[in-house]
C-alpha cells in the first residue's frame, strides 16, 4: 500500500468500571493517550465487552441522568437495552441495532436492560459513543434515530458473506441511515475468516477501530478482540485481513476544531455554558423523568 495510514497505538481494554449496576464499561476515551480532542468528533467511547448477566426480576441499569451538548450512540451487539427520556420517548435497542440520540439542548435519560432479557439473563455486549456537536448545533432540539439492523447499508465483498454494515456515512457508494451534524463514518465490518478489505478515510479524519469479535491483521499488525487501534493523521488506506470470523467497529470523522468544556454529562464550548446547563437541570428545564 502506497498510502497506508500509520498505526499510532493498539490499546488494550482499560480496567472496567460500572455505570449503574447494568453496564460494565471499558472507558477507552477520553483518557490514556486519547485526550478530549484526539478522536473528535467522537468524544467518548465506553465499551461493554462480552459479559454474562444472571437472570434478574429487577432490570439492571442506570437511573435518571442528564445529557446536553452532544449525541449518545448506543450500539447493541448482544442483549437488549430499554431507554426512556424526559421528552416522553422510549424504546428498545435490540441485538444488532443502534440508537442515535441527539441530546442537544438537553434532556433527562435512563437506560436499563430490557425486561425480558433481564428475566432470562444472558450475554451482553455494547458500545456507547458520545459524539460532539459543533457550536452552532449544541442547542438543537433533542431527537432520536432508531436504527434497526435491517435499515443499515450493506456492502458485500467477493466471498458474498463478508460485508461492511454502514451505520452512518458511506462505503463505496453504500450509505448509512443515521444523519449527523458533521461528516463522519461509522461502520461494522463483519468479516468471515480470510476476508481482506480496504477502507479509505481522509488523512485529517480522526480514525480508530475496535475489534468486537475475532482477530484481524490491520495494516500489518495483529489486533485481538477488545483492542482499539488508533491511527495517525497520515495516509488514507487501511487494509484489514480477518484471521478468523471478525466484527470490527470502525470510526472515522472530521475533527470539530472548537474549544471543549466537558463536565460529567455536559459537553459544551465554554465553562459558562456548562454552568448554565447545570442550572437548567436544577430548574427543571430538562423536564421530568421518574426513576
Ligand atoms: Mn444516557
Res 2: pLDDT: 81
Dihedral sign of CA atoms 202, 208, 211, 217 in order: positive
Q: How many CB atoms lie within 10 A of CB 251?
A: 26
CA of 212 to the centre of ligand 1 (A): 22
Give the phi and the psi of residue 275 in degrees, each rounded to 5. Answer: -60, -40
Contacts with 237 (C-beta within 8 Å, 6 or more apart), sequence order? 1, 2, 3, 4, 5, 198, 199, 200, 219
**pLDDT reported for residue 1:** 76
Return d(Cα 109, Cα 112) in angstroms, integer. Answer: 10
Structural domains of the chain sorted by starting position, each given as residue range(s) with its CATH number in brackets: 7-282 (2.60.120.10)
CA–centroid distance, residue 232 to ligand 1 (Å): 30
pLDDT-derived band at 87, boundaries 50, 70, 90? confident
| Confidence at residue 291, expressed as pLDDT on a 0 to 100 scale | 80
pLDDT in tens, 50-86: 999 999 999 999 999 999 999 999 999 999 999 999 9
- Report whether pLDDT(88) > 90: no
pLDDT for residue 265 = 95
Mean pLDDT for all residues in the chain: 96
CA 194 to chain centre: 26
Locus of grid cell 462480552: 50
- Cα 144–Cα 103–Cα 122 angle in degrees, nearest 5: 65
What's the 101 CA to ligand 1 centre distance in angstroms? Answer: 9
Map 190-233 to HEC letters: EECCCCEEEEECCCCCEEEEEEEECEEEECCEEEECCCEEEECC
Q: Which residues surround ligand 1, an ion (CB under 5 A)?
A: 109
Burial class (CB in 10 A: 0-12, 13-18, 19+), 288: exposed
Is the per-residue pLDDT at 163 higher than 90?
A: yes
Q: What is the pLDDT of residues 177-229, one digit of tens each?
A: 999 999 999 999 999 999 999 999 999 999 999 999 999 999 999 999 999 99
pTM for this prediction? 0.97
Å from CA of 7 to ligand 1 middle: 31
Question: In the structure, what pLDDT confidence band is assigned to residue 20 with cuts at 50, 70 and 90?
Answer: very high
CA of 18 to the centre of ligand 1 (A): 14
Amino acid at each position: 500500500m502506497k498510502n497506508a495510514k500509520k498505526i499510532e497505538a493498539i490499546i488494550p481494554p482499560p480496567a472496567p468500571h460500572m455505570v449503574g449496576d447494568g453496564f460494565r464499561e471499558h472507558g477507552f476515551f477520553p483518557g490514556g493517550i486519547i485526550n478530549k480532542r484526539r478522536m473528535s468528533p467522537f468524544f467518548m467511547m465506553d465499551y461493554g465487552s462480552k459479559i454474562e448477566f444472571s437472570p434478574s426480576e429487577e432490570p439492571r441499569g442506570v437511573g435518571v441522568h442528564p445529557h446536553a451538548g452532544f449525541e449518545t450512540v448506543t450500539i447493541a451487539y448482544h442483549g437488549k437495552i430499554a431507554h426512556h427520556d424526559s421528552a416522553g420517548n422510549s424504546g428498545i435497542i435490540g441485538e444488532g441495532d443502534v440508537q442515535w440520540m441527539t441530546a442537544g439542548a438537553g434532556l433527562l435519560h435512563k437506560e436499563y436492560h430490557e425486561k425480558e432479557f433481564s428475566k432470562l439473563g444472558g450475554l451482553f455486549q455494547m458500545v456507547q459513543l458520545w459524539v460532539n456537536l459543533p457550536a452552532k448545533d449544541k442547542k438543537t432540539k433533542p431527537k432520536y434515530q432508531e436504527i434497526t439492523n435491517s435499515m443499515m447499508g450493506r456492502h458485500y465483498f467477493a466471498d458474498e458473506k463478508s460485508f461492511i454494515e454502514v451505520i452512518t456515512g458511506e462505503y463505496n457508494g453504500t450509505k448509512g441511515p443515521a444523519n449527523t451534524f458533521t461528516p463522519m463514518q461509522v461502520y461494522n465490518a463483519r468479516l468471515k475468516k480470510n476476508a481482506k478489505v480496504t477502507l479509505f478515510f481522509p488523512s485529517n479524519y480522526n480514525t480508530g477501530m475496535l475489534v468486537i469479535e475475532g482477530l484481524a491483521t490491520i495494516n500489518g499488525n495483529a489486533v485481538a478482540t477488545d483492542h482499539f487501534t488508533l491511527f495517525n493523521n497520515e495516509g488514507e488506506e487501511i487494509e484489514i485481513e480477518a484471521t478468523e470470523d471478525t466484527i470490527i467497529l470502525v470510526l472515522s470523522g472530521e475533527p470539530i476544531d472548537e474549544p471543549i468544556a466537558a463536565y460529567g454529562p455536559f459537553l459544551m464550548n465554554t465553562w459558562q455554558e456548562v454552568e448554565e446547563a447545570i442550572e437548567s437541570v436544577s430548574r427543571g428545564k430538562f423536564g421530568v423523568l421518574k426513576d
